[in-house]
Amino acid sequence: MAAKTLFDKVWDAHVVTEIKGGPSVLYIDKHLVHEVTSPQAFAGLEKRGISLFRLQNTLATADHNVPTKDQHLPIKEALSRQQVEKLSENCDKFGVTLYGLGHPYQGIVHVIGPELGVTLPGMTMVCGDSHTSTHGAFGSIAFGIGTSEVEQVMATQCLMQSKPKTMKIEINGKLGKGVVSKDIILYIISKISAAGGTGYFVEFAGSAIRSLSMEARMTICNMSIEMGARGGMIAPDETTFEYIKGREFAPKGAKFDEAVAYWKTLFSDEDAKFDQVLTYKAEDIEPMITYGTNPGMGIKVSGHIPAETEIDAASRLSFKKSLEYMDFQPGASLIGKQVNYVFIGSCTNSRIEDLRMVAEFVKGKKKAANINAYVIPGSKQVEKQAIAEGIDKVLAEAGFELREPGCSACLGMNEDKVPKGEYCVSTSNRNFEGRQGPGARTLLASPLTAAAVAVSGKIVDVRDFNLN
């Protein structure tokens, strides 16, 4: 039998049929639904007079529009409230399971899937949200889709998909002090650009990746979309199985053992061929930060913004426009630059491990007076666990507030926004113009760097602190 990549194995197991000279019909095991990209799809089903094809493969939550305070009260903003209500209405009408506001399982769609044991190795998973790539950390094929595709999956549990090319990104070695998984992915994207992975499905491999926890792996796969890749994945291993074991919807008992036996076959064969292979050394990676308006515009926090001459002629106009928006100078260092906002949260970095990392760092320290800090757990379960572990108290003593779960200040759809012209060091995934609110200026960084910035009131190299 020909050698196969991990991607090939999962893909091949899901092809219902192929269209000659066209796409494959791919079966989708799990469809996650949220309020922003679903209303028009539900309306489409109604128009066709059909129901959802497989209710048990579908799960919905509300996350983008939800406030992070007073979730027991009606949402203040009328359009946000309407969209969340529309989701409830649609889920009721079509019989879809909904973990809406007030439900103990509510949270960011990409946080609740893994923590509930809904996300499993070897499955295909889609959602009308580009960061669906997060779930690839379990060795599943997971990717974001548009609303017409949401309707396709609702109607038929299938998607018409052309097979992407495959890329392997290998990171070997040991991570240095103060370097966490967010730095790995920001480093890779800074190397290959925001378009470097377009047309590919990426497998992350190598000893540095193997050493990471599930949460850390999710951060990396979450941002594979930011290099243009259709998705990212990591072969499941003992770390994966251990994480899944005992979770609410994961297979149990003999079923679990049977599942693990299957999951153990999910790896790229040694002689499997990738369309592209990139290799990096973990030792070369330092704490990272972005300076521009796409996630590819990242530098070592200790480094400098590139000079104009270092930028390709064709990209220079965009580079200049980007620096103008950020009000930064080519060649400048960011160290010491005052920022007034810090956002710790989003589907990239709002898991319990992220909050633990932040709490451990800020324990015994105080947030700087100029800092407005948002600390937003990714789900009700993360919130509950953070409180059980006393993380809320540690944060409160340091002047931070643990709020209620949602997408929060990652994107300007709910009440949490960064004001025009202000700088925000953010653990989210996008630094696009206006992403965190019109005129907001976003610098992407790890939760550890964000915590260090919050206590310093300015951009710092986290390695200047004592780290355990």
Partner 1 sequence: MEKFVTITSNITPLAIEDIDTDQIIPARFLKATTREGFGDNLFRDWRYDEQNNPKKDFVLNNSDYAGSRILVAGKNFGCGSSREHAAWAITDAGFKVVVSSFFADIFKNNALNNGLLPVQVSQQFLNTVFEKVQADKNIKLNVDLEKQKIEIVGHNVSESFEINDYKKTCLINGYDDIDYLLSIKDKIEAYEKGSKYLSLVK
Please report whether residue 1 would count as binding partner 1 according to CB under 8 A.
no
Ramachandran region, residue 432 (left: φ > 0; alpha: ψ -120 to 50; beta: rest) = beta
Please report whether residue 421 would count as binding partner 1 according to CB under 8 A.
no
Task: Strand 97-99: give its sheet, edge to edge.
Answer: 97-99, 58-61, 30-33, 124-127, 141-144
Q: Which is nearer to partner 1, 214 or 259 (CB)?
A: 259
Contact map string, positions 114 to 133, toward partner 1, x by CB under 8 A = ------x-xxx---xxx-x-
Please report whether residue 27 would count as binding partner 1 according to CB under 8 A.
yes
Please report whether residue 13 would count as binding partner 1 according to CB under 8 A.
yes
By CB under 8 A, which span of 151-159, 214-222, 269-277, 282-290 interacts with partner 1?
151-159
Q: Which amino acid is at 290?
A: T
Contact by Cβ (8 Å): 166, 274: yes
Please report whether residue 194 would count as binding partner 1 according to CB under 8 A.
yes
Q: Which amino acid is at 378?
A: G
Please report whether residue 113 would count as binding partner 1 according to CB under 8 A.
no
Place of tokens 């950390």: 137
Q: Which is nearer to partner 1, 12 or 242 (CB)?
A: 12
- Cα(291)–Cα(265) distance, rounded to whole angstroms? 42
By CB under 8 A, which span of 157-165, 208-216, 279-287, 380-388 interacts with partner 1?
157-165
Please report whether residue 281 would count as binding partner 1 according to CB under 8 A.
no
List binders of partner 1 among 79-98 (CB under 8 A): 79-80, 82-83, 86
Please report whether residue 17 would count as binding partner 1 according to CB under 8 A.
yes
Size of the site for partner 1 (CB under 8 A): 77
Place of tokens 């779960």: 405
- Cα(110)–Cα(346) distance, rounded to whole angstroms? 9
- State the burial class of residue 364 (Cβ atoms within 10 Å of its Cβ: 0-12, 13-18, 19+): exposed
List binders of partner 1 among 246-265 (CB under 8 A): 249, 251, 255, 258-259, 262
Figure out which of the listed residues 1, 2, 22, 72 binds partner 1, where binding follows CB under 8 A: 22
Please report whether residue 277 would count as binding partner 1 according to CB under 8 A.
no
Q: Which is nearer to partner 1, 84 or 362 (CB)?
A: 84
Q: How far is CA 196 from CA 193, 200, 278, in A?
A: 5, 9, 11
Instruction: Give the distance from CA 456 to its chain's centroid.
Output: 26
